[in-house]
A and B are shown apart, each in its own frame.
Chain A
Amino acid sequence: MTAQIAAGATEESLHRATPEQRRARTVGILLLLLAAFVLWIFGLGVESTDTSTFNLSLPGAKYENIKWEVDSRMLSAILAAVIAFLGGLVLRRTYLRWTNVALAISLALTALSFLTWAAAGKSFSLVGMLVSTVVLSIPVTLGALSGLMCERVAVINISIEGQLLTSAFVGTIVGSAANIWIGFIAAVLVGALLGAVLAVLAIRYHIDQIIAGVVINIFALGLTSFLARRVLTAAPELNSPGRFASAKIPFFGDIPVIGPMFFDQNMFVYATFILVIVIHFGLFYTRWGLRSRSVGEHPKAADTVGIDVHKTRYRNVILGGCIAGLGGAFLTLSQVSRFEENLTAGIGFIGLAAMIFGRWMPFGALAAGLVFGFARALQQKLGILGTPIPSEFLSMLPYIVTIIVVAGVVGKSRPPAADGQPYIKQ
Chain B
Amino acid sequence: MTESGSTPKPDNADKSSQPDPDQPNSEDFLKNATGVGSSLRQALLIPALALLSALVIGALIIAVTDVDSLKLWSSDPGEAFSSTLRGIGNAYKALFVGSLGSRRAITETLFAATPLILAGLAVAVGFQAGLFNIGANGQMHIGGLVGLWVGFSVSAPTIIHIPLAILGAIVGGALWGGLAGLLKARTGAHEVITTIMLNFIALFMVDYLLTGTLFQAQGRNDPISKRADTTAQFPTLFDNYRVHIGFLVALAAVWFVWWLMYRSTIGFEFRAVGANPDGGKYAGMNVAWVYVAVMAVSGSLAGLAGANQVLGLEPYRAFSGFAGDTGFDAIALALLGRSHPVGVLFAGLLFGGLRAGGLQMQGTAGIPVDLVLVLQALIIVFIAAPELVKAIFRIKSVDDGAKSTVSTGWGS
Contacts and interface: CB of A to CB of B under 8 A. Distances in A.
Interface of A: 156, 201, 205-212, 214-219, 221-223, 225-227, 229-231, 234-235, 341, 346, 349-350, 352-353, 356-357, 390, 392-393, 395-396, 399-400, 402-403, 406-408, 410-415, 419-421
A222 B377 contact: yes
Contacts of B72: none
B116 to A, nearest CB: 13
B384 to A, nearest CB: 5
B373 A420 contact: no
Nearest to A417: B412
Grouping DSSP codes into helix (H, G, I), strand (E, B) and loop, the A interface class, with mixed when no group exceeds half, is helix
A420 B335 CA distance: 15
Given A208-B407, A210-B132, A400-B197, 5 more contacts: A212-B381, A226-B65, A346-B200, A356-B193, A412-B412
A207 B385 contact: yes
Nearest to B184: A407
Contact of A215 (B65, B381, B405, B412): B381
B9 interface: no
A413 to B, nearest CB: 7
Contacts of A201: 381, 385
B198 A403 contact: yes
A211 B188 contact: no
B384 A414 contact: no
Contacts of A413: 190
B371 interface: yes
B335 A353 contact: no
B132 A218 contact: no
Nearest to A162: B377
28 contacts: A208-B384, A208-B405, A211-B335, A211-B384, A212-B384, A214-B332, A215-B332, A216-B377, A217-B328, A218-B332, A219-B374, A223-B373, A225-B373, A226-B371, A229-B368, A231-B67, A346-B200, A356-B190, A356-B410, A392-B205, A393-B208, A396-B204, A399-B197, A399-B200, A400-B201, A406-B193, A412-B412, A421-B409
Interface residues of B, number: 53
Interface string B190-217: 1011101110110011011000000000
Contacts of B409: 156, 209, 415, 419-421
Interface in B346-391: 367-368, 370-378, 380-381, 384-385, 387-388
Contacts of B208: 390, 392-393
Contacts of B371: 222, 226
B283 to A, nearest CB: 22
Contacts of B332: 214-215, 218
Contacts of B198: 399, 403
Given A208-B405, A222-B373, A420-B407, A214 B190 contact: no
B189 interface: yes
Contact of A208 (B187, B197, B328, B406): B406
Interface in B202-250: 204-205, 207-208
Contacts of A392: 204-205, 207-208
Task: Pick the 8 closest A-B CB pairs, nearest first.
Answer: A222-B373, A420-B409, A219-B377, A392-B208, A225-B370, A412-B188, A222-B374, A407-B189
B373 A221 contact: yes
A190 to B, nearest CB: 16
Most A CB contacts (10 A, CB to CB) among B188, B193, B332, B380 go to: B193
Nearest to A415: B410
Contacts of B377: 215-216, 218-219, 222
Contact of A396 (B189, B201, B378, B387): B201
Most B CB contacts (10 A, CB to CB) among A205, A346, A399, A415 go to: A399
Interface string B385-412: 1011000000000000001011111101
Contacts of B196: 346, 349-350, 352-353
B61 interface: yes
Contacts of B385: 201, 205, 207
B370 A226 contact: yes
B292 interface: no
B175 to A, nearest CB: 15
B410 A419 contact: yes
Nearest to A411: B188
B189 A403 contact: yes
Most A CB contacts (10 A, CB to CB) among B134, B188, B197, B208 go to: B197
A226 B197 contact: no
Contacts of B188: 411-412
A223 B64 CA distance: 12
Contact of A403 (B194, B368, B381): B194
A214 B412 contact: no
B5 to A, nearest CB: 36
Given A205-B388, A396-B204, A219 B373 contact: yes
A406 B384 contact: no
A208 B373 contact: no
Most A CB contacts (10 A, CB to CB) among B198, B200, B403 go to: B200
B80 interface: no
B331 interface: yes
Given A206-B403, A218-B332, A420-B410, A226 B368 contact: yes
Contacts of A215: 332, 377, 380-381, 384
Contacts of B376: 218, 222
A150 to B, nearest CB: 12
A300 B375 CA distance: 37
B85 interface: no
A206 B207 CA distance: 42
B288 interface: no
B260 interface: no
A224 B189 CA distance: 34
Given A353-B196, A415-B410, A231 B65 contact: yes
Nearest to A350: B196
A341 B193 CA distance: 25
Contacts of B200: 346, 396, 399
Most B CB contacts (10 A, CB to CB) among A209, A392, A400 go to: A392
A352 B405 contact: no
Contacts of B331: 214
A261 B368 CA distance: 42
Interface string B242-265: 000000000000000000000000
A350 to B, nearest CB: 7
B182 to A, nearest CB: 9
A205 B387 contact: yes
Contacts of A421: 409
Contact of B197 (A218, A353, A393, A410): A353
B187 A207 contact: no
A393 B203 CA distance: 11
Contacts of A411: 187-188
B205 to A, nearest CB: 7
